[in-house]
Each structure stands twice: as structure tokens, then as C-alpha cells.
Structure 1
Amino acid sequence: MPLPFLTADRAFDATDDIALPYDDHDEWRRPYRPGPWRVGAAALALLLASFVLFAAVIIAAASAPGGALATFALAAVIIVVALRALRVGTWVSRHGVRRVGFFSTATVAWPQVTELRTVQQPVRWLGLPRTVQGQALILVRQAGEQLTLLTDHNADFLSRVEAFDRAADTVEAWNAEYGVHASR
């Protein structure tokens, strides 16, 4: 079963410099591949879920339906958490840019974007409270509020500076194609 949220399009494997490599620009796509930290954490969570499911089968075989049901529910929660963690990130389409967090999602239409820039600033390390000096791709809306789209120390780009630069350039290319500046 293919998991489209795990892989970027095959065009990112190519060496040519196509800014918008997708055929269908209406579909929401992640302009980068999920990083090894995010995929590794999800894989460990799914491994844990398999053990919990095995335990649920054993509990069910021992004629304890209440415990088996609770254990199956725990496994389902672990699976949902792992899949949601894989969806976290920045997604783009013709309609705008979407920042998917674990508990919330923010979507900004391209015409509402006034500025998109990469800045040096303290960023959170792997989403934890600890901050380190790093780069962040900042989106500024027309109302003046800022939204951090990418950082070079999150689970997708930790120790992958080139991937962060490529992803930031790709998001900026989508903004150049569909943003306010493109309509002028």
C-alpha cells in the first residue's frame, strides 16, 4: 500500500532544477521528504503498536474481553499518533501554503502572503523547548502576523542543511508562481 505522505514526488530525485515539479498543482503536496528523525520515530511507534496488538490478541485469547478491548484501543491510539506525526510539516498547492502541526493546521492563501523569507534566529530543536541558533522559513501574512513554516532543526531537516535550503527555495518558488507578486 503506497503511503503518499511519506514520499515527495519522483521529481525530487531528478537533478534538473524544476521549481514546481508536480503535474497537478491543485493537490496538496509536501515539497520535501520527511526527515529520518520523523520517520524513525513513527517506525518505532508502529513497532510498539505491533507489540501492543500482539498483547491484545493474547489477552483476548485468555478470555478477558475488557482488557483486550482496552489494549486494542491503546494500539489504535499509538497508530493514529504515528500517522499524524508523519503528516506534520509544510504542504503547498496552487491554493496556498498549509502548516500542519500535530494538533492544529494553519492554511494561508498565496494572495495573503506578503513576505516569505529565511532568517537566522533561535529555533526549537526537534520541537522541544530547547532552542538553538538556526534558520527558519518565515511567512508574513497581510495582517502582519508571522508563521514559521520550516526550521533547519526540526525532525525533517536536522543535520540536513541542503534539504532545508532546497525545501525553502521550493516553497518560495510556489509563492513566486501563485502569490501576489505573480498576479501583478
Structure 2
Amino acid sequence: MPLPFLTADRAFDTADDVALPYDDRDRWRRPYRPGPWRVGAAALLLLLASFVLFAAVIIAATAPLSSAGTVFALALAAVAGALRLLRMGVWVSARGLRQVVFFSTRTTPWEQVGAVRTVQQPVRWLGLPRTVQGQALVLTRQGRGAGALPPLLTSHNADFLHRDQLAFDRAADSVEAWTAEYGRG
């Protein structure tokens, strides 16, 4: 079963001379592949969910169904968490720029995007409180709610940690190209 949210479009890998290589620009797309840390954590969570589902089947055969239902709900929550973990990141379309984090999603229409640029600054390592020196792709909004927002991408998040610098640069360049095409700045 193909999982389209797991990989970026292949057109990005093959079309080096085209900044926006997508045919249907109204679809939300992540212009980069999820990193190994994100995919590994989701895989471990799905592995845990399979064991919990197996336990739910055993509990259903030996105990009241309400107990099995509780364990089954726990397994479904783990599967939903793994899928949400894989959906996290920056998504772009002709409608705007979307940042998906674990518990929320923030969509900024292109009319409100002031600038998207890469800066050197202390960034959080894997989203934890520890900070290290790295690069961040930051979005500055204009109009209502103007100002700087938390970084869209960092060189030390779960998508780019322990990957070559080129992967972060390509992702940042792609988001900046979408901004140049559709945004004001």
C-alpha cells in the first residue's frame, strides 16, 4: 500500500533546474522527505502498537470485552500518533504555507507571508530543550498577527539531524522558491 505522505514527490529529485516541479500546485506537498529519526520513531511506535493489538486479542479471548476495548483503543491511539508523527513538517501549496506539529497545524496564506529566509541561530536538538548552533528556516508574517514565528525547519530537527547539509539546503530552497512564486516577499 503506497503511503504518499511518507515521501516527497519524485519530481523534486529529478528536476534540478525547475524550482517548483509539481503539476498540481493546489495539493498540499512536503518538499522534502521525512528524516530517519522521524521515520524510525514512527516505526517503533507502530511496532509497539502491534504488540498492544496482539495483547488486545488475547485479552478479548480471556477477559471481559471492556478490558479488550480499552487496550484496543490504546493501540489505535499509538497508530494515530505514529501517523501524525509522519505528517509533521512544512507543507506548501498554491494556497499557502502549512506547518504541522504534533498537536496543531498552522496555515499561513501567501498574502500574509512577509519573508522566508535561512538564518544561523541556536536551534533545538530534536525538539528538546537542549539547543545547539544550527540553521533555521524562519517565516516572518505581515499584516494581521505580524511578526516572527517559531522556525519552520531546523538543521537539527527529526527530518535533518545526521543528514548531509545539502538535504536541509534543498528543502529550505524549495520553500523559499514557493514563497518567491506565490508570496509577497
Count of residues paired in the alignment: 181
Equivalent residues of 2:115, 2:179 under 8 A apart: no
Q: Does 1:81 align with 2:120?
A: no
Is 1:153 matched with 2:156? yes
**Partner-residue secondary structure (3-state), 2:73:** helix
Counterpart amino acid of residue 10 in structure 1: R
- Residue 105 (structure 1) shift: 1.1
Displacement of 1:112: 1.3
- State the partner residue of 1:165: 169
Unpaired segments of 5 or more residues in structure 1? none
Q: Secondary structure at the match of 1:158?
A: coil
C-alpha separation in 2, matches of 1:86 and 1:128: 18
Whole-angstrom CA distance in 1 between matches of 2:158 and 2:77: 21
1:124 aligns with 124
Structure 1 counterpart SS, 2:151? strand
> How far has the Cα of 1:34 moved from its partner?
0.3
Give the stretch that moved more between structures: 124-133 or 13-22: 13-22
Distance in 2 (alpha carbons) for counterparts of 1:13 and 1:145: 30
- CA deviation after TM superposition for structure 1 residue 82, in Å: 0.5
State the alpha-carbon separation in 1 of the partners of residues 13 and 137 from structure 2.
Answer: 23
Scaled by the length of structure 1, what TM-score is found?
A: 0.94
Query: SS of 1:148's equivalent?
Result: coil
Paired AA for residue 152 in structure 2: L
Give a deviation string over 1:132-169, Cα, whole Å, max 9, x none. 11100001001223341100000000022211100000
Identify the match of residue 147 of structure 2 among 144, 147, 151: 144
Q: Identify which of 165, 178, 181 aligns with 2:182.
A: 178
Look up the equivalent residue of 1:153 and give its one-letter code.
Answer: H
User: Identity across aligned pairs (percent)?
Assistant: 72
Task: After TM superposition, give the deviation of residue 104 of structure 1 in Å.
Answer: 1.1
CA distance in 1, matches of 2:37, 2:44: 11
Q: Residue type matched to 1:135 in 2?
A: Q
Shift of the alpha carbon at 1:24? 0.3
Summarize deviations over 1:41-80 as a string: whole Å, max 9, x none.
0001001100100011011111331221111011001001
Name the amino acid aligned to 1:19.
Answer: A
Given the superposition, is the C-alpha separation of residues 170 and 180 from structure 1 closer, same or farther in structure 2, using an over 3 Å criterion?
A: same
Q: Do the aligned residues in 2 keep the contact of 1:140 with 1:147 (CA within 8 Å)?
A: no
TM value normalised by structure 2: 0.94
